[in-house]
Amino acid sequence: MSRDRLLVIGGDAAGMSAAAQARRLRPDDLDITVLEQGPDVSYSACGIPYWVGDVVTDRDRLIARTPHEFAAQDIDVRMHTRAEAIDLVAGTVSTSAGDVLGYDRLVVATGGRPTRPPIPGLDAVGVHGVHRLGDGADIRAGIAAGAERAVVLGGGYIGLEMAEVLHARGLAVTVVLADPLPMAQLDPDMGERVCSAMGAMGIDVHPGEPVREVETDADGVVRAVRTDDGSYETDLVVLGLGMGPEVTLARESGLQLGPTGAVEVDRSQRCTGHPEVFAAGDCSQTYSRITGEAVHIALGTHANKQGRVAGSVIGGRPARFAGVLGTAVTKVGETEIGLTGLSSVAAERAGYDARAEVVEGTTRAGYYPGAEEITVKLISERGSGLLLGAQIVGGPGSGKRIDVFATAIWAGLTAEELAGSDLSYAPPFSPTYDPVLVAARVSSRIEQG
């Protein structure tokens, strides 16, 4: 009896999660082959900034598992092998190695593509992405070669994290972004707090300045970034302009794309019209847990879960992806930032009669050493009190509080229900009423003594 064949395109979070889960559920009757166009699999792209900053000193610590370790699970990982074409009718994939591989089940996990707008000079020597381990190695090499100034383009997660680590390594850092404020996912009042914190660190922030050109010297090496408002001299440029879905292969094969531009899938990660083909991770479309609308949010947490769902279904165990809130946390210097659910603008756009409350507090009892300021913004539906979103900006100990809000929104709680919940308290960890509960109480307008 012939064995089923699972072919996976892409060897990072979603692809390897799918392969590993399918192998766990079908240890004996499934051939698994993974095609990875690069030199690494199962690596943490999220850890690259911290390797650049020497917070993590060993590159290999960013690699969860090697091809050799996957081989021990009878998963054949073919490195430096690009999938060139998918024939959905024949059930085959042509590779850069000249092979044509057949499949019974296919997982498309081609990941994301860093946004690179058509700016003159963006391909110059000294301009670096933060997508693969090789990008981190190149930035480290630039620092080792004596770079003293860096310009970071973009003010999202990667932009903030790279600005922090480059500043910590002693470079003069300028952040240039087209958006009015860093962390455009936040409401403006919260983004202002992030911008102020960056300035207080000594990072030079220039919001509202689209880049017009990356200027180079006679040898084609970057020397400055020019906007309409000025030119900023630099020794290296780091791109943090966001991530879109990498769907070239999927589109050319005839797989259906959704309104977000990512591959359209159902709740089990099956591609529309092709039940034997799955897509997962940054290349695939998902949906908002709150509104039900199609969204594309490139986060490793989603990619791993979606890959596991696909692997479970392929392995014979029913599974469904439960949607996303877009929960995320990051930091710049000592300032932590957390967000989940809808912003005020997004809530109104979705048709909610939304209200927002902002509370100020401390991360610990005010008298306890190390108490830091924290600002919490809670968005809820007027009348019902249904929780829709939350944002946090504050000192150490602030950011992970966003997970309480995420859990409450996931469970469909109201502000009043959250305000009555039983959270822990001790002076080293929070005030008697944690800022999470205070925000919920204010939002629900419960009078408490």
- Structural contact between residues 238 and 154, judged by C-beta atoms closer than 8 angstroms: no
Please tell me the distance from the alpha carbon of residue 28 to that of residue 12, in angstroms, as a whole number. Answer: 23
Please tell me the distance from the alpha carbon of residue 395 to that of residue 322, in angstroms, as a whole number. Answer: 32
* Phi/psi of residue 395, nearest 5 degrees: -80, -175
DSSP letter assigned to residue 45: G
Amino acid at 175: V
- Structural contact between residues 179 and 155, judged by C-beta atoms closer than 8 angstroms: yes
Q: Which residue has the tokens 């559920």?
A: 25
Please tell me the distance from the alpha carbon of residue 238 to that of residue 158, in angstroms, as a whole number. Answer: 9
- Structural contact between residues 381 and 356, judged by C-beta atoms closer than 8 angstroms: no
Amino acid at 150: A
How much of the chain is in helix, strand and coil states, percent to nearest 5? 30, 30, 40
Is 271 an annotated catalytic residue?
A: no
Q: Residue 52's closest CA among 153, 170, 154?
A: 170
If phi > 0 it is left, if psi is from -120 to 50 it is alpha, else beta; for residue 248 that is alpha
- Structural contact between residues 77 and 11, judged by C-beta atoms closer than 8 angstroms: yes
Please tell me the distance from the alpha carbon of residue 57 to that of residue 64, in angstroms, as a whole number. Answer: 16
- CB-neighbour burial class of residue 263 (10 A; exposed 0-12, middle 13-18, buried 19+): buried
Rounded to a whole number of angstroms, the CA Rg of the chain reads: 23
Element holding 237 (H helix, E strand):
strand 236-239
Q: Residue 338's closest CA among 426, 382, 408, 397?
A: 397
Q: Is the dihedral of CA 314, 320, 326, 332 positive or negative?
A: negative
- Structural contact between residues 54 and 125, judged by C-beta atoms closer than 8 angstroms: no
- Structural contact between residues 373 and 200, judged by C-beta atoms closer than 8 angstroms: no
Catalytic residue among 46, 195, 271, 283: 46
Please tell me the distance from the alpha carbon of residue 4 to that of residue 22, in angstroms, as a whole number. Answer: 11
Amino acid at 40: D
Please tell me the distance from the alpha carbon of residue 284 to that of residue 108, in angstroms, as a whole number. Answer: 9
Please tell me the distance from the alpha carbon of residue 111 to that of residue 283, in angstroms, as a whole number. Answer: 5
Residues annotated as catalytic (active site), given as ranges: 46
